Structure 1
């Protein structure tokens, strides 16, 4: 329930309440919470209320608020929930509601480090069959631990940022053929869930499964743009490098973990049994429904509930060797894929270009062309049988520099 007049197609309801950074004409960027078709301007509202820590919302990024820790996150969410659901607060809140249409959205947090995982078994098997047809589809370690790679924090960009087509070395034909340098001819997407660290950990310590909610603030939608021809040539034996590092897009709104409680599910049964540090008695599998739109044609709806590894397990594995995490660290699930056509990459959707997809304008496509726009959206179960929208991440391909 809320006193706000929320349209059925509003971007966010009064439960999700994601955090972002926005600005209006002539004003500096600051922290806001999205509700309905508005942004709740937290800094002046908190100042009027005389709240401790109101300065955290006058910042150009969420990082200071993220670093404040779980107790602060819970207190602020409780305050905002009360403001938008209890009608006596209406007169106080209404002057601080900014129409989303009048707001410029910025990258919500400064990324400290970026790690991308490989948590979907269907995606891993599909990629294995395409790239390594004469080898087992899954790497030997895949069922034992969450496989991942370290990406580039400096090339994480906010939704709406144009994506320049990357160039690199690639084979011109079958394995063993000539190698040439040039723009990627197999530019692809990866629909993913990303997780944002708030509370850091100490170098030489571990973050156990039970401490996941103490360290991770929330979730963003991620498109890990991928140049498949560059990737296929370079990735053995050390994994992705230039085929991935040119750009990763994130949604401008960070959905707090608390909003995702109704979406929690038990992940698939693991076989063989995993190591003790990965055994989760209170699992954080998530029932997210993604939607991938290619030039406004919906081409896939990949589900996340079958992801083999949970975000809590990813964090536990990432720190089990004593590696620390920092405020603003981003780590992602890897491509979320179901059975074709509901795959989170065009590599799988078109089976490496051998099975083109037809868009609404009649064109048949395999990989991205200059001018193409991809938008990834997601929803999840909300309280009392509702369905909550989790935002979107979009990007348009531009020619190589």
Structure 2
């Protein structure tokens, strides 16, 4: 099916700033609370939130086979489960209705009042009910940095890392939307030198992790696998992800079974899911892999995406300092490889499941995706614009992640993924 929504020549009759993350070619999906205290599924064009529940009820999706309540729900799960054909029909129709050449909604003031809100009039909510959350460890630069910090730098990557996308199952109950504060976690950390009793208290090494996450649709039954050539058909879209990490808690607990309390206290995602279809113009060559993967992981064609990523820290009552400029294209293992590997053993994937990329680090220091790497385990503190220094994240710091793709024709962005750190509970 032709993706007419992506036409770079389209202009909307809504006013959209040329540097907006949300031109008419984007049409992401999210869930928000309207000024009338109604929860609805919607999209965004420029600085306007579009109520798709009202849009549907007023007949603008006529001819598309949708259930009456498809957009009157508090999550996108059912819409995602309807599959790629439906997603494309819906995006194409929204693009048509808001195109500058289409006047039906533009000239109907009563309908516009029910459908269109200023973005500041709505409250964004978690876009999906995440049934299962998997976090990968798929950036070669990040894995090499961490391996160098905690093991012999000559053997930074374990033998399996170059053969398969390493991952672990995270905790979906602590996935939160952008803007919700994060409470500094409390837990055990390593005993002091010469002692055997571990320390206990608030994490002293709280970190962010620059990640992206893809949202899946229902795909395979128990015992079946997703062939790699079909994997992207089951990926709805992407969000920005800050997978907060308590490094001191994690380093004490992670052997032998991996991340647990150091990771499951909070994972913040951006509220708008940007579809793979919208990102199609930004596909780039996949990173060259050291070993030829096993056949089930071998990809044909471009499966990586050129998405610029940025991280800023804003202390309370101070200006923001940009500390990271990176890119999603640096990922060693692609999303298609991650999903194919996730299901090769017959693990079923459902609509609304979330797969984190793992920390995204690039080849230069300013592209490292965590404080652990940026300060090299605290040895080289970062100086912020207000003159204060950071080894890790302080209480009342706000971490802001941004992401966008851009070419000569269009900019497609994700907005912001924001989280402020609050002191630990006493």
| TM-score (normalised: structure 2) | 0.90
Match in the other structure for 2:423:
399
Q: Does 1:381 align with 2:391?
A: no
Q: Does 1:91 align with 2:93?
A: no
The 1:237–1:135 alpha-carbon spacing in structure 2 relative to 1, beyond 3 Å, is farther
Provide the C-alpha distance between the structure 1 equivalents of 2:413 and 2:146, rounded to a whole number of angstroms. Answer: 29
Note the aligned Cα RMSD (angstroms): 1.7
The 1:175–1:97 alpha-carbon spacing in structure 2 relative to 1, beyond 3 Å, is farther
| Cα shift readout 1:283-308 (whole Å, capped 9, x = no counterpart) | 31111110001012111111221211
Kept after mapping to 2: 8 A contact 1:157/1:247? yes
Match in the other structure for 1:359:
384
**Counterpart selection for 1:58 from 72, 89, 96:** 72
Kept after mapping to 2: 8 A contact 1:155/1:246? yes
Match in the other structure for 1:5:
15
Match in the other structure for 2:355:
331
**1:173 CA displacement:** 5.0
Provide the C-alpha distance between the structure 2 equivalents of 1:135 and 1:169, rounded to a whole number of angstroms. Answer: 30
Unmatched tracts of structure 2, length 5 or more? 1-9, 315-319
Matches within 5 A, 1:215-364: 215-295=234-314, 296-338=320-362, 339-364=364-389
**1:316 CA displacement:** 0.2
Match in the other structure for 1:371:
396
Match in the other structure for 1:124:
143
The 1:256–1:134 alpha-carbon spacing in structure 2 relative to 1, beyond 3 Å, is closer
| Cα shift readout 1:271-292 (whole Å, capped 9, x = no counterpart) | 2110000001123111111000
Match in the other structure for 2:58:
48
**1:264 CA displacement:** 0.8
Provide the C-alpha distance between the structure 2 equivalents of 1:331 and 1:396, rounded to a whole number of angstroms. Answer: 23
Provide the C-alpha distance between the structure 2 equivalents of 1:174 and 1:357, rounded to a whole number of angstroms. Answer: 27
Provide the C-alpha distance between the structure 1 equivalents of 2:19 and 2:291, rounded to a whole number of angstroms. Answer: 44
**1:237 CA displacement:** 2.0
Kept after mapping to 2: 8 A contact 1:194/1:221? yes
Provide the C-alpha distance between the structure 2 equivalents of 1:129 and 1:291, rounded to a whole number of angstroms. Answer: 24
Provide the C-alpha distance between the structure 2 equivalents of 1:72 and 1:100, rounded to a whole number of angstroms. Answer: 26
Match in the other structure for 1:106:
125
Match in the other structure for 1:158:
177
Kept after mapping to 1: 8 A contact 2:20/2:411? no
The 1:141–1:174 alpha-carbon spacing in structure 2 relative to 1, beyond 3 Å, is farther
| Cα shift readout 1:333-375 (whole Å, capped 9, x = no counterpart) | 1011112022110100111111000111110111111101001
Matches within 5 A, 1:17-28: 17-28=27-38
The 1:139–1:175 alpha-carbon spacing in structure 2 relative to 1, beyond 3 Å, is farther
Provide the C-alpha distance between the structure 1 equivalents of 2:265 and 2:194, rounded to a whole number of angstroms. Answer: 25
| Cα shift readout 1:152-186 (whole Å, capped 9, x = no counterpart) | 01111111111011111112556987621111100
**1:87 CA displacement:** 2.4
Deviation larger for 128-137 or 307-316: 128-137
Kept after mapping to 1: 8 A contact 2:219/2:226? no
| Cα shift readout 1:134-162 (whole Å, capped 9, x = no counterpart) | 77101210110000110001111111111
Provide the C-alpha distance between the structure 2 equivalents of 1:10 and 1:194, rounded to a whole number of angstroms. Answer: 22
Q: State how many pairs are aligned.
A: 400
Kept after mapping to 2: 8 A contact 1:262/1:381? no
**1:86 CA displacement:** 4.1
| Cα shift readout 1:186-234 (whole Å, capped 9, x = no counterpart) | 0000111100012232110001112223211110110000000111111
**1:67 CA displacement:** 1.0
- Find the residue that maps to 1:149 and give its secondary structure: strand
Q: Does 1:149 align with 2:168?
A: yes
Provide the C-alpha distance between the structure 2 equivalents of 1:24 and 1:175, rounded to a whole number of angstroms. Answer: 58
The 1:177–1:304 alpha-carbon spacing in structure 2 relative to 1, beyond 3 Å, is farther
**1:9 CA displacement:** 4.0
- Find the residue that maps to 2:148 and give its secondary structure: helix
Deviation larger for 238-247 or 92-101: 92-101
